[in-house]
Amino acid sequence: MAWYTETTTEKKKSKKELWVKCKNCHSHIYAEEWSKNLNVCPNCNYHGAISSYERINLLFDKDTFEELFSNISPKDSLKFNDLKGSYKDKYETNIKKTGINEAVVTGHGKMNAIPVVIAVMDFRFLGGSLGSGTGEKILQAANYAYDHNLPYIVISASGGARMQEGALSLMQMAKTCAGIARLNRKNIPYISVLTNPTTGGVSASYAMMGDINVSEPGALIGFAGRRVIEQTIGEKLPDDFQTSEYLREHGFVDSIVNRKDLKDYLSNVLSYYNR
């Protein structure tokens, strides 16, 4: 009966690939329509996850993007193991699965003819966690922007610090912030784009340091989880707490921009700096 099992598996697989279920409104969207709509739900405007390279294709003028520091990858300095196996095995599997060496892709290119340096985080890689390799790439890209007098954009998507690297991961918060703060001395603009989710150590460091902080609609942005805060302060939090909309209302985010408008928004803002 092997043929039967195989056919059923095959059927299940193709059904899964044909449709995408929106995590917000739970409607089923034809996969082709979902990707044509830049992984945004056509019913409720939920902004789904998008890979670094998809994001780069969306933002940069054709054939202008050049990747930098792609040789930097995670280091297992603590020789960390948990019940599910070793950290080294885990990140090596992630490298194979995603085709990128770290949770961020860095490089430079042109956005509506404006040259920029960018770091685009990728949630698929260990939940976009901030490891020492991630921090190093974000710093190196900031240094490149500094040396070449180019504006710097970081697009965040992260669950926070990378637990498997312990204190080394937390040190990346200070390191990346120092590199970005240096841009100020040369009046080089730094724009932070916060996407779903931007939490933990990333939200507590470079993601909130933008001269302009922009977010995609409905993104989860915050430091500690909702339940932890509720238990600590003994109060119920509003429903929209830790969303981009809540943060804009309270002055932490300057604008909320739809994914399809992001390229024009960013190049427009940068054109003011260039005057």
Give the range of 1-9, 20-28, 108-116, 126-134 binding Zn ion by CB under 5 A.
20-28
Contact between 258 and Zn ion per CB under 5 A: no
Residue among 211 and 216 whose Cβ is closer to Zn ion? 216
Closest approach of Zn ion to the CB of residue 234, in Å: 34
Give the range of 24-32, 137-145, 221-229, 233-241 binding Zn ion by CB under 5 A.
24-32
CA distances from 12 to 7, 15, 16, 39, 233 (A): 9, 5, 6, 22, 46
Binding-site member from 8, 43, 70, 149 for Zn ion (CB under 5 A): 43
Contact between 22 and Zn ion per CB under 5 A: yes
What is the C-alpha to C-alpha distance for residues 210 and 167, in angstroms, rounded to an integer? 25
Contact between 40 and Zn ion per CB under 5 A: no
Contact between 29 and Zn ion per CB under 5 A: no
Is the CB of residue 141 less than 8 Å from the CB of residue 125?
no
Query: β-pairing, 255-256 with 212-215?
Result: parallel
Give the range of 8-16, 36-44, 102-110, 159-167 binding Zn ion by CB under 5 A.
36-44
Give the range of 45-53, 61-69, 160-168, 203-211 binding Zn ion by CB under 5 A.
45-53
Give the range of 18-26, 61-69, 138-146, 209-217 binding Zn ion by CB under 5 A.
18-26
What is the C-alpha to C-alpha distance for residues 74 and 125, in angstroms, rounded to an integer? 11
Contact between 44 and Zn ion per CB under 5 A: yes
Binding-site member from 34, 46, 87, 152 for Zn ion (CB under 5 A): 46
Residue among 22 and 118 whose Cβ is closer to Zn ion? 22
Contact between 49 and Zn ion per CB under 5 A: no
| Subset of 91-110 contacting Zn ion (CB under 5 A) | none
Binding site for Zn ion (CB under 5 A): 22, 24-25, 41, 43-44, 46
